[in-house]
Amino acid sequence: MWVSSLVSILPLVAFAFALPSKDYEHQVKEEVVPPQGWTIFGPAPSDHFINLRIGLPQSNFDLLEQHLYEISDPYHERYGAHLTKEEVEDLVAPHPDSAAAVNEWLSSHGIQEEDINRSPAGDWLTIRLPVWLVEKMLDTKYHIWKHATSGDYIVRTTSYSLPKDILDHVELIQPTTMFGTFKRLKSTIHSISQANSQVQSQNQPPVSDPVTGVTVDASCGSTITITCLQQMYNAVGYTPSADVGNSVGIAGYLGDFANRADLQSFFEDQVPAAAAANATYNFVSVAGKLCFLGFSSWLTLSKAVSTHKIPTTLAWSLTSILNLRSAGSPPFIPDVATPTDTNEPYTDWLDFMLSYPNPPLAISTSYGDDEQTVPESFAKRACAGFAQLGARGVSLMVASGDKGVGDANLNPATQTCFTNDGQNRTQFLPGFPASCPFVTTVGGTVLYPEQAVYFSGGGFSNYFARPSYQDAAVQGYLSQLPNGTYSGLFNPNGRGFPDVAAQSNLFRVFVTEQPFLIGGTSASSPTFTGVVTLLNDARLKKGLPPLGFLNPLIYSTAASGFNDITVGSNYGCGTLGFSATAGWDPVTGFGTPNFAKLVELVT
């Protein structure tokens, strides 16, 4: 491994000495205050390799955004006219002047075309470089940083600069100033416990919701199964097709993935017909690496509503790190056993999905971090990638998070909701990518009749302005808040989330072929994705295009297709948080899906 690193570095060393030095005048591009808990562990080794990602400005993203909103608006004449892969790439391709300027800069540092991996649109450049060369290029100094609580190690800098003549030709460069704790960026699993070998019959009469009139088995109060979800969300008896071009995908990062044996156990337990048919999923490895331990909840929960007939793909970013314990594990450990550093998962995964000729029509992802741990430049660029998927007809669901409005803590004396801008102000902490306006964010409910679960992530973004599609709904919620409620703790002009909700506790899944009960919005997101997959099935049967980006539809003609949740709140930061109310709220959005109503509204 050391020999390999030496071989790869020699050409760069040769170029560095062979080329005449060019005297660049640098200017700071981005700088941050180290977030709470991070301290310098030591200098970064000069021969430590970084997968440097350079984002060039997307020349016509405003036009792509216009297309996205037109084709996602059920009132617009272009509704459903999704763009092709090539059309999207043309819209986000950088201006030729930007590409030329950056190429010249890279060449001056001995970096040749064969050293660069370019995204299909040319808007991202990825180059594997040693720290010493990156420090020279960015006029900065990298350190190993350690997190006091998690024990994570990452290689980062708090500031980097670029030559003035390319400053406007580069939107961002990472990994530089991002301090997100991506080692702990597991799915937002809130709880897990071993379950009984069989679902316990309570010998009690079914439970009815007096508002919707829907009746569910009494056992659904203690264990959520496929049958419970079909009953709760009014999808009993619907049979999807296997041959209409439908598909569903589940994103897994950082060592999390499905297990075929667990899936078979799940099917034997809850869908015998699927077990008999040996139903399974397609595995797609993003970085070409395999893992050997797994967790099947993402796959099985998506199957819970979409059934085993619809093709399912499991695709995840393994971020190309070399770690023998599991691909996609810790970003960096300062020893010779871990010679490469990783970036975060979203851009690697997005690069792959956007290059995929036919991405799944509905995708669930159950990962997130505090918005403030992600530099705003990166958050906006990743969000723009999600918009590209939407423009191509993909519905992307993300979990809202499991920390309520910030830390799921009611005690003001021990709350941990502080800004990381050096001022340490108490503030609600929205999550990312839940705060991105181009995804459908799914909050959590519990029990039946349903109510908001206390840990359901929700609130308002500090990075993204409120999109027009939710103006009326969010303003309606804010108008009924008493004056001064949580003044200064949240941004009332920011993108509100979640958009919808689904059950998030006591899901019966299988781990190492043993039954467990899990809870978290990581269960809610794939559950709602299953409903979207069924809706796509109904549309495709009638020759209609898939739903694509959902939010303009949800906030307009489809709003009546949800079960409004009006009980519960998402506490945190020493407060009771926001309360679920009639209509949209930043706890459960518009509520949980009523499939029978929604299928009429979208077909």
Binding residues for Ca(2+) are 564-565, 583, 585
Q: What gap in Å lies between CA 373 and CA 432, rounded to an integer?
A: 9
Strand bridging mode 124-130 / 117-118 = antiparallel
281, 317 in Cβ contact below 8 A?
no
Task: Look up residue 585 and give its DSSP letter.
Answer: B
Continuous segment of H or E residues that includes residue 273 = helix 272-276
The residues facing 251 across adjacent strands are: 315, 365
Return the axis-axis angle of helices 345-355 and 85-92, rounded to nearest 10°.
Answer: 130
For 15, counting Cβ atoms within 10 Å of its Cβ (0-12 exposed, 13-18 middle, 19+ buried), the class is middle
Q: Name which of 53, 30, 94 is nearest 350 in CA terms.
A: 53
CA gap 339, 152 in Å, rounded? 16
Enter the tokens of residue 111.
Answer: 């970096």
CB 527 within 8 A of CB 357: no
Range 285-298 burial, b when 16+ CB lie within 10 A, else e: bbbeeebeebbbbb
Q: How far apart are CA 160 and CA 552, in angstroms?
A: 38
Feature table: binding site: 564-565, 583, 585
Structural contact between residues 314 and 284, judged by C-beta atoms closer than 8 angstroms? yes
Residue with tokens 């709904």, as numbered in its chain? 473
CB-based contacts of 206, cutoff 8 Å, min separation 6 = 215, 216, 217, 218
Q: Which positions ≥6 away from 570 have C-beta within 8 Å?
A: 404, 405, 408, 443, 452, 453, 454, 455, 456, 457, 458, 577, 578, 586, 587
Q: Is the peptide bond before 175 cis (omega within 30 degrees of 0)?
A: yes
